[in-house]
């Protein structure tokens, strides 16, 4: 799985499979498209206006929860991966991948 973000167009993409040659795109709403692989499985999910969608409640952080153990890991999308126990207050950062952050393309 891979998450990418293009700050030029404010689009995030969650890729669930390795690249395929062709996908069928289904428009779910004005801000969400689902790409279907030729075998009928979901290839990826495209979020248009990504900053608004990703940063609404969680300040752009990604929370990964292991449903079997209850263990939670929060990924700060503009920085390093931190365990939930390390976080005392939200950082207030918007969605910005490390490569864009290094190039100075993101603002706080």
Q: How many Å is the maximal CA-CA distance in the chain?
A: 45
DSSP state for residue 104 in the 8-state scheme: T
Residue 88 has pLDDT above 80, yes or no: no
Cα 23 to Cα 39: distance, rounded to the nearest angstrom: 10
User: What pLDDT, on a 0 to 100 scale, did the predictor assign at position 52?
Assistant: 78
How much is the pTM? 0.58
33-86: pLDDT as tens digits:
999 998 999 999 999 988 777 765 656 567 778 899 988 887 766 544 444 444
Residue 57 is predicted with a pLDDT of: 60
Query: Which residues is 65 bridged to in the sheet?
Result: 72
CA distance 47 to 102: 23
pLDDT in tens, 2-23: 888 888 888 889 999 887 778 9
């Amino acid at each position: 799985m891979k998450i990418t973000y293009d700050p030029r167009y404010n689009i995030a993409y969650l890729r669930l499979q390795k690249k395929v040659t062709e996908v069928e795109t289904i428009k779910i709403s004005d801000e969400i498209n689902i790409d279907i692989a030729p075998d009928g499985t979901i290839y990826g999910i495209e979020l248009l206006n990504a900053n608004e969608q990703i940063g609404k409640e969680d300040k752009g952080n990604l929370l990964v929860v292991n449903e079997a153990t209850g263990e939670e890991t929060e990924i700060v999308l503009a920085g390093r991966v931190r365990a939930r126990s390390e976080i005392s207050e939200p950082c207030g950062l918007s969605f910005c991948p490390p490569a864009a952050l290094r190039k100075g393309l993101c603002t706080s």
